[in-house]
């Protein structure tokens, strides 16, 4: 009758765990069983001499009342109202009162009924975590003494029987104290277990987040080759599209090459490599030293490691070149000024030629310094809205700056475009691309084409020329710093353009094309 009540979800009660209410439910189940047994006893021995004369009907009424009260207690436990301690006290009080009333109907049952109160006191202490246990023992002792006193006054007992009642009352206090000590110890253990469970759950969440966001793939594999866990990153690196069920899927079925490597023995510090359709992986095997010979396979993406090393290298190079650029600018200005003075006082074409060489190289160094300083300011964004008209005006302004004929540049915008970009960064990117296109083009009408395309992801700009294009061996180094095929170039133009594009959440790429060079700038569209 009370088991379903324990299984139902119930609201939490401050200060008590769900186990307290479940124990109270079991305690009430005992009370219901006892009440049914007492009712059955009253019916079975109704006409016997077990009860005093005319007292069997009263015992039967008390037993039925005890059964009804135990049934009503189920409603309070289900609703968890009133509070736990109030309900427990009501349960113990009902036991004491009704059992005392039934004790008054029979001297032969009085001793047994008194022992039943020990069960109620011990259960109250265990269920209530030791709170008010001694109070319950005192209430039971007072009730037994009063009942026994009334029995003596009625002539049913002798005065010397108080010794037996005293021992029973001492047993009540002993049981109450023992229940109090045991429940306090159990409560401390339960609280510690709950804290450890919460810490373990938190640690599991932290581990799950760390695994899901790790750039490396992680697989836990048993000694028999069954996958115990596979992170999403590991499945992506391996190119596995089929579902992987932990504890069922075998590594041989989803990644046979990795399974073969995992079975091999490799020297310490030597990790094998694995080529997949998506990446070049370095595989590290870490044994867990478990009975089932489980181990963790760490899949490291070599391209990411190389990119991280490249970023560190470029960061250090950027700091170095920025410091050098600041130191170069001041003497460079003095050299340029001295060259201008020499040019004004030059006598003859030879001297004029020498001063022109000084000025040209000074301007080249100044441009190199400016590009290095611009690279170190790439994170200072101030995006503004651009549309087709603003973009066309920017291209036209840069065309005039580079003295490119208007007929040489064809701008094609078939759809309206809207996007956000830092204006200085966009100017630097377009200027680099336009200048390179003009330098390597045939310098004819329509040699440079600028077109836009609106996609689902945003906007794409393409700048192409009719020059010789790039050889395949140069395409992989195109965006590396200080790489150039022009003796007069600095090798920072395209590298700077790509860095500024990435700072604005865009991407600059070279698109292989048969009739020249084509660069594509892909960025997200604005509102």
Confidence grade of residue 14 (pLDDT, cut at 50, 70, 90): very low
- Asked if 39 contacts 64 with a C-beta cutoff of 8 angstroms, the reply is yes
Q: Which of 115-124, 213-222, 319-328 is least confident? A: 319-328
335 membership: H or E segment, kind and range: helix 302-344
Residue 470, both tokens: 């790039």
pTM, two decimal places: 0.44
Q: Which of 110-119, 332-341, 364-373 is least confident? A: 364-373
Query: Sign (positive/negative) of CA torsion 171, 176, 179, 185?
Result: negative
Alpha helix segments (H runs only) across 154-255: 162-212, 232-238, 251-254
Question: Residue 525: its pLDDT value, please?
Answer: 53
**Architecture label for domain 213-302:** 2-Layer Sandwich (3.30)
Question: Residue 132: its pLDDT value, please?
Answer: 86
Confidence grade of residue 3 (pLDDT, cut at 50, 70, 90): very low
**Cα angle value 8/10/15 (rounded, 5°):** 135
Q: Which of 52-56, 145-149, 354-358, 438-442 is least confident? A: 354-358
3-class secondary-structure state, position 291 = coil
Q: Is the pLDDT of residue 62 over 90?
A: yes
**Residue 147 CB contacts under 8 Å (≥ 6 apart), including other chains:** 100, 103, 104, 110
Q: Which of 105-109, 184-188, 313-317, 435-439 is least confident? A: 313-317
CATH 3.20.20.70 is the classification of domain 384-523: no
Sequence ranges of the domains in the chain: 3-197, 213-302, 305-376, 384-523
Question: Residue 326: its pLDDT value, please?
Answer: 66
Question: Residue 512: its pLDDT value, please?
Answer: 81
The fold adopted by the segment(s) 305-376 is: Helix Hairpins (1.10.287)
Mean pLDDT of the chain: 83
CA gap 25, 77 in Å, rounded: 7
Residue where the block lists tokens 């945003």:
458
Confidence grade of residue 5 (pLDDT, cut at 50, 70, 90): very low
Q: Which of 295-299, 387-391, 441-445, 456-460 is least confident? A: 456-460
Tell me if the bond preceding 215 is cis, omega within 30° of 0: no
**Average pLDDT for 396-421:** 88
Residue predicted with more confidence, 195 or 280: 195
């Amino acid at each position: 009758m009370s088991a379903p009540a324990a299984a139902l979800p119930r609201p939490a009660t401050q200060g008590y765990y769900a186990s307290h209410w479940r124990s109270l439910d079991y305690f009430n189940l005992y009370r219901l069983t006892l009440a049914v047994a007492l009712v059955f006893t009253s019916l079975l021995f109704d006409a016997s001499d077990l009860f005093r004369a005319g007292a069997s009907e009263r015992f039967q009424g008390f037993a039925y009342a005890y059964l009804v009260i135990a049934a009503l207690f189920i409603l309070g436990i289900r609703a968890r109202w009133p509070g736990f301690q109030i309900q427990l006290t009501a349960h113990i009080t009902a036991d004491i009162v009704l059992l005392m009333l039934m004790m008054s109907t029979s001297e032969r049952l009085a001793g047994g009924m008194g022992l039943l109160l020990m069960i109620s006191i011990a259960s109250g202490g265990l269920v209530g975590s030791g709170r008010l246990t001694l109070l319950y023992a005192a209430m039971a002792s007072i009730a037994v003494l009063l009942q026994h006193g009334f029995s003596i006054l009625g002539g049913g007992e002798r005065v010397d029987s108080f010794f037996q009642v005293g021992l029973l009352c001492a047993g009540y206090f002993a049981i109450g104290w023992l229940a109090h000590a045991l429940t306090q110890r159990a409560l401390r253990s339960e609280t510690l277990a709950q804290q450890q469970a919460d810490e373990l759950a938190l640690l599991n969440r932290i581990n799950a987040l760390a695994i899901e966001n790790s750039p490396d793939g992680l697989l836990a594999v048993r000694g028999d080759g069954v996958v115990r866990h596979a992170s999403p990153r590991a499945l992506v690196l391996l190119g596995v599209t089929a579902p992987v069920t932990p504890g069922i899927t075998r590594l041989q079925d989803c990644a046979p090459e990795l399974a073969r490597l995992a079975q091999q023995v490799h020297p310490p510090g030597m990790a094998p490599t694995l080529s997949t359709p998506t990446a070049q992986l370095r595989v590290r095997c870490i044994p867990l030293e478990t009975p089932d010979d489980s181990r963790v396979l760490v899949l490291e993406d070599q391209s990411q490691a190389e990119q991280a090393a490249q970023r560190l290298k470029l960061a250090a190079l950027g700091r170095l070149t920025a410091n050098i650029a600041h130191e170069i600018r001041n003497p460079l200005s003095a050299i340029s000024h001295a060259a201008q003075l020499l040019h004004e006082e030059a006598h003859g074409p030879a001297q004029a030629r020498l001063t022109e060489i000084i000025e040209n190289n000074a301007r080249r160094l100044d441009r190199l310094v400016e590009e290095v300083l611009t690279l170190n300011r790439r994170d200072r964004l101030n995006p503004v809205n651009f549309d087709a008209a603003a973009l066309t005006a920017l291209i036209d302004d840069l065309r005039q700056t580079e003295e490119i004929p208007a007929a040489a540049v064809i701008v094609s915008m078939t759809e309206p475009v809207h996007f956000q970009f830092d204006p200085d960064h966009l100017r630097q990117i377009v200027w680099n691309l336009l200048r390179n296109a003009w330098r390597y083009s045939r310098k004819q009408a329509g040699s440079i084409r600028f077109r836009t395309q609106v996609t689902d992801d945003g906007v794409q700009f393409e700048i192409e020329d009719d020059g010789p294009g790039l050889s395949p061996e140069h395409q992989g180094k195109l965006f590396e710093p200080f790489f150039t095929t022009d003796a007069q170039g600095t090798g920072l133009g395209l590298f700077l353009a790509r860095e500024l594009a990435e700072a604005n959440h865009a991407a600059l790429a070279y698109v292989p094309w048969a009739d020249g060079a084509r660069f594509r700038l892909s960025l997200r569209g604005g509102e």
